[in-house]
Structure formats: structure tokens, C-alpha cells
Amino acid sequence: MTHNSHAFPPFIRRDWLDVGSGQRLHLAQYGDPHGIPLLYLHGGPGAGVDTSELALFNGDHYWILLLDQRGAGQSLPAGELHHNHLNGLIRDIETIRIALNIERWCLAGGSFGATLALIYSGLFPQRVIAQVLWALFIPSAAGIEWLYGGSGAARLHPQAYRDFCDNASQEQPIFEHYRQGFYAADKAVRHQFARRWIHWELTLAGAKSVLPQRLSPELLALAKIELHYAINNYFNTLSMLQRVTSKVTARTLLLQGTQDAVCPAMLLNEFVAEVGEQNIEIRTIVEGGHSLNSEILSLAVTLEIQAMWSWINRQELA
């Protein structure tokens, strides 16, 4: 029997689903349409799906659904902020499940995608069989200060943080500084601010990308959507997480890299201690980073998604 684990899962189809409020979501399907349905949730918020992430999944086992969330990736309108909020993103997940006539499915996602998965699986516990999540983003005051304030990740990369802060004054909060930059009249200024925003994030994620002077529409959308969520305190994502995490019944595995400088382990540990969650297994990935460009994290995620399939098969045989 030949095994095509190194080949990408075969493409099935793509659609732009109208979910109301002028939003059309890009949904691409891969793998086996008769396999176990699995929805992949990207991070950001606003990052969109990168097809390289298909390498995580065995196309013989799963019916893989890659969703670009509101305003992200190939979803339309690109970078749209109206009606772009947590409740909308969660509702979209359930809309897609119903549209595809899926009874129960699996979830996978990292960072803000892991946050969405955890909330959805707490709100709709009967709909999620199992999930593999990593680098969970917890938008607590400490989490936001760590990312964007002067006392957290800024201390790991002092020069990069100075570049990020640019000429923001003490009086003007950093988010307001960026909001004015993103909506400046001069296009070059808008790109400059978006580049600085994304460069800070790439630095923390350990990515070695060189950003072009003129960013792609997808990268501009990412910066705008991330700021939109940050400036709106993530639309009460934290209180939602605190409220629904204990209601999760799906087999849930959370992978946490020891070298994750975006969503550090201490924040996850504090959150789990606070909600006293029993159903979620946390696995520490030594030397693992934040994003899938961390090879050790990527390998762990791939293996656990494979193990999830085996676990589901054992349940069905039992």
C-alpha cells in the first residue's frame, strides 16, 4: 500500500459562502469528503489560511475544511471591519457546519484560532468530537500587556520593540497611534505602519521574513483586523473563555511551546488554574515556538492530529 503522507491532501472544491452582513467567507475543501470532517481555524485574528498548513493533515483520514475568517485571506470584502467581531466568527463556524450538513466534527487551530475553537466547543459541546489546539491566545490584561506593552515581550526584543513603538508618545496609547497610521491619507504611511505592526509579530514568532515595502492586501488586512480586535479588547473574548471553557466535552489537547514568545506558557497556566479545567490536556513542547514555522511544534501538531484520528476510530470500535 502506498502512503501519500508527504503529498498535500487532494483539493475538492472552494466556495464563497454568504453569511449575511455583506460577508462572503472563503472555504476550501480538501482530503476525503467521506473522511472525518475537520475544520481548521487560523490565527491572527485576520491571518487567513496558508495552504502550506495542509501538510498537517492526512487526506486519507480527514475531510479538511480551510476557512478564511471574516475579512481575512480570500474572504470578501478583504480587511472588512464592519460586523467583524467574536460573535460573528463563532456564528460563522456554526453556519458552515449546518451548510455542509455535518453532525459533528473535529477542530484544529493555533493562537487566536485555538481561542475560537475552545469557545465554539464550549458553546456547542455536542458538535465537537475532538480537537488539537496549540499556542492558545488568552487576551487577558496580562496577555495584551505581554504582547504590546513595555514590560513583557518588549524586554526580549528591546530594539524591535522600539521600532514597533516608532514615535508613539507617552500620552498616546500604542493602539491609537497605529489606528491613526493605518488610516493616514498617505498610502505609503499606511503601508509603513502595517509593516511595523506585522514585523513586531514576526519577530516574536521567530519568523525570518523580510517584508516588502508595499504589503499584499492580505497582510494589510491582517494588520487592520488585529488592531481592530485589540482596540476593542477582543470583544470580551476573555470573559467568554472564562464562562464556557468548563463546558467543553470534546477530547481536547492543548500544545504549548516553551519558547512561545507570543502566547507564553505562564499565561496559559494562570488561565487554566483560574478556570480549573479538568477536561483539557496540556502538553508542553520543549523548545517549541508559537507558530508552525517552529519545526518541533509543527511536528507535534501533525502527530497529534494523526493520533486524534486513531482515537476516534478506537471509540467507534469500542
Q: What is the DSSP string of 136-158?
A: ----SHHHHHHHHSSSSGGGTSH
Q: What is the pTM of this model?
A: 0.95
CB burial readout 119-147, b (16+ within 10 A) else e: bbbbbbeebbbbbbbbbbbbbbebbbebb
Q: What CA–CA distance (Å, rounded) separates 225 from 142?
A: 21
Residue 164 is predicted with a pLDDT of 95
| Cβ atoms of residues 153 and 261 within 8 Å | yes
C-alpha cell at 180: 491613526
Q: What CA–CA distance (Å, rounded) separates 310 from 196?
A: 43
Question: What is the number of alpha carbons within 13 Å of residue 59 lying toward its C-beta?
Answer: 17
- DSSP single-letter state for residue 51: G
- The one-letter amino acid code at 143 reads G
- The one-letter amino acid code at 211 reads L
Residue 6 is predicted with a pLDDT of 58
Nearest alpha-carbon partner for 65 in 23, 102, 37: 37
**Which residues contact residue 14 at a Cβ distance below 8 angstroms, ignoring those fewer than 6 apart?**
26, 27, 28, 29
| Cβ atoms of residues 116 and 67 within 8 Å | no
Residue 5 is predicted with a pLDDT of 47
Instruction: Tell me, letter by letter, the H, E, C secondary structure of 174-223.
Output: HHHHHHHHHCCCCHHHHHHHHHHHHHHHHHHHCCCCCCCCCCCHHHHHHH
Residue 1 is predicted with a pLDDT of 40
- DSSP single-letter state for residue 276: T
- DSSP single-letter state for residue 43: -
Other beta carbons within 10 angstroms of residue 210's beta carbon come to 6
Residue 318 is predicted with a pLDDT of 65
Question: pLDDT by residue for the chain (318 residues), tens digit each?
Answer: 444 445 899 999 999 999 999 999 999 999 999 999 999 999 999 999 999 999 999 999 999 999 999 999 999 999 999 999 999 999 999 999 999 999 999 999 999 999 999 999 999 999 999 999 999 999 999 999 999 999 999 999 999 999 999 877 766 789 999 999 999 999 999 999 999 999 999 999 988 778 888 899 999 999 999 999 999 999 999 999 999 999 999 999 999 999 999 999 999 999 998 887 678 999 999 999 999 999 999 999 999 999 999 999 998 776
Look-up of cell digits 526584543? 157
Containing 227, the helix (H) or strand (E) segment is: helix 217-231
